[in-house]
Amino acid sequence: MTSQQTEQVWKALDSFRIELPSWGFADTGTRFGKFHQPAAAATIEEKFSDAAEVNRVTGVCPTLALHVLWDFKGERSAAEVTELAARTGIRAGSINPNLFQDQIYKFGSLGNPDPKIRETASQHILESIAIATTVNSRDISLWFADGSNYPGTQNIRHRKAWFEDGLRSAHAALKNDQRLLVEYKPFEPAFYHTDIADWGMALELARAAGPQAKVLVDTGHHYSAQNIEQIVAWLLDSNMLGGFHFNDRRYADDDLTLGSIDPYQVFRIFHEIVLFEFETGKPADIAYMVDQSHNLKPKIEAMIQTVTTAQELFAKAAIVDHEKLAATQMTCALVDAETCLKDAFATDVRPVIEEWRIARGLPPQPMAAFRESGYQQRIEAERGSKGRGGGSSYA
């Protein structure tokens, strides 16, 4: 690598922060069952502690995304979470309302035909915004399971209008520096129509909600052949990309480790972001979040693997030769243009990342540092392994 490329990688890594999900440290499963893991986090203290360990060895994960129902209700008040955050050195990240688990949401939340249920859903979002304010979180991240399973069973346009109402009232409650992130997903748990099925619908709804609403791209929430980097490029261009939920997939929303199936796609997404920043000269205001809950891989190791993979792919995107790329694009030198991307993707950036870590006082190899620390053995001895709950209800 040239010294200019090394500099580009260091600069990129200095700016790249990744938010971990609290639910990624708890026992979760599939709809067929749960395999319990030794010492999976069951309490919010344990989730903060595990996240702090990932941050200790990687140095780039200072915030933890929280799910309101799983992390606050009946367990901890927002004020207590603030204290916990201060103690562990991990700040509360995005706040995720839960609008899908309660029995009343069987036929939807903001899109439910029953106005009382829509009102309850709205109230929950407002409470979540209040929690975000108390714990000093910027983003309130909304995902809705709303939809229907059979043609003709719901009025799609009425539901759209109810969503607009609900999101507008949520937006009105935001503080000036807060954002609403609107996540889309084409299927699951609804299998005929999902109310916010794709990025176009999320974009329309975010615009209807107000200027502090942006779109959240979960990489697992697309049809198989979809060109996600094009969506990213369009959202960036419209100043409507608020954040990511990272994971990889082979078939559906598989929640696999980022880059495990298609690292080139993640690289291409990062390339669009880095290119946008290069051309506009300003940083893209994006929350990079992980949304994975591993039911087979050891959870903390899987998170460390995710973070280091994300750094590698981001670093590769940072060394694309933008001038050469622009010139080859303008002359339609197709092979040369494509090679520009491929050369960067094929470059081994790991030695430079190790140097960067050492310079930043971090362990050069986060996974090895974690394994040497004895943290996993310690929590297994302390917590035991009996599937103590604390995660989602996927089981």
| Nearer residue to Mn ion within complex by CB, 13 or 142 | 142
- Rounded to a whole number of angstroms, the minimum distance from the CB of residue 20 to ligand PSV is 13
Note whether 96 binds ligand PSV by CB under 6 A: yes
Q: What is the 3-state secondary structure (H, E, C) of the chain?
A: CCHHHHHHHHHHHHHCCCEEEHHHHECCCECCECCCCCCCECCHHHHHHHHHHHHHHHCCCCEEEEEHHHHCCCCCCHHHHHHHHHHHCCEEEEEECCCCCCHHHHHCCCCCCCHHHHHHHHHHHHHHHHHHHHCCCCEEEECCCCEECCCCCCCHHHHHHHHHHHHHHHHHCCCCCCEEEEECCCCCCCCCEECCCCHHHHHHHHHHHCCCEEEEEECCCCCCCCCHHHHHHHHHHCCCEEEEEECECCCCCCCECCCCCCHHHHHHHHHHHHHHHHHHCCCCCCEEEECCCCCCCCHHHHHHHHHHHHHHHHHHHHCCCHHHHHHHHHCCCHHHHHHHHHHHHHCCCHHHHHHHHHHCCCCCCHHHHHHHHCHHHHHHHHHCCCCCCCCCCCC
Q: Residue 249, interface with Mn ion (CB under 5 A)? A: no
What residues numbered 190-219 form the site for Mn ion, per CB under 5 A? 218
Among residues 48 and 184, whose Cβ is nearest to ligand PSV?
A: 184
Q: Which residues 266-325 are close enough to bind ligand PSV by CB under 6 A? A: 291, 293
Task: By CB under 6 A, name the one of 118, 222, 245, 271 that touches ligand PSV.
Answer: 245
Contacting residue, 124, 245, 249, 316, with Mn ion by CB under 5 A: 245
Least Å distance between CB 354 and Mn ion? 31
Nearest distance from residue 58's CB to Mn ion, in Å? 21
Is 139 near ligand PSV (CB under 6 A)? Answer: no
Residue 253 touches ligand PSV, criterion: CB under 6 A? yes
Which one of residues 218, 248, 272, 312 is an interface residue with ligand PSV (CB under 6 A)?
A: 218
Residue among 40 and 340 whose Cβ is closer to ligand PSV: 40
Out of 291, 320, 340, 344, name the contact with Mn ion by CB under 5 A: 291
For residue 392, the partner it binds in ligand PSV, Mn ion, none, with Cβ less than 5 to 8 A by kind, is ligand PSV
Decide whether 94 or 154 has the Cβ nearer to ligand PSV. Answer: 94
Nearer Cβ to Mn ion (245/271)? 245
